[in-house]
Structures are given as structure tokens and as C-alpha cells.
Amino acid sequence: MLPTPEQVRQYIADNLPCTHIDVQGDGAHFYATIVSTAFEGQSLVARQRLVYAALGARMDGSNAEIHALSMKNHTPDEYAAKGGAPKTQAEAGR
């Protein structure tokens, strides 16, 4: 069974401290906006690696549940500067 966007959001929230996560998708291909203090001082590639690490085996190898994930990863300050209103970490983990 393919994961839902809500499941992907929860997988990320369970393993990466986020203040905001929005995931859309069709079960195989997903699009995410992720806001985390863990991204501070990190390059774009390092940010992606943090998300991939949070998803673990769900994105790794030929048996991966998630086949494609396009993401926009921001720090809380970057997200706020773009007009976003990051939620608290507790709200993002719900």
C-alpha cells in the first residue's frame, strides 16, 4: 500500500524537529514544504540529506515506499520572510 501525504508528513515529523510541514502527493510522488531549525547553517543539499535521513528506508532502494519527493526546505526565519507563518514545533508534530 502506498503512503498518504499525511503519513509522509508524520514520518518526517517523527524524525526531524520541524515547525511546519506541508506534504501533498499521490502516493508515489510527493511535494513537501518543510521548516526546521535543523536547517540553519546547512546547504540545500545538506537539508535534503536531513529529510532523507528522517525518512530512512522509506526512500532507500528498490523497495522504497516513497519513489519521489520534491521539497522546499526553509529555516523558520527564511519561511517567515517568504510570508509563511511557522507553527510551533508541537503543532507541526500533530
Give residue-wise pLDDT tens across range 11-51: 999 999 999 999 999 887 899 999 999 999 999 999 999 99
| Concatenated DSSP letters of the chain | -PPPHHHHHHHHHHHS--SEEEEEESSSEEEEEEE-GGGTT--HHHHHHHHHHHHGGGGSSTT-S--EEEEEEE-HHHHHHTT--PPPHHHHT-
* Region 5-92: CATH code: 3.30.300.90
The torsion defined by the Cα of 84, 85, 90 and 91, in degrees rounded to 10, comes to -90
This prediction has a pTM of 0.85
Q: What is the pLDDT of residue 84?
A: 79
CA distance 52 to 55: 5
Residue 64: band (very low, low, confident or very high) from pLDDT cuts 50, 70, 90: confident
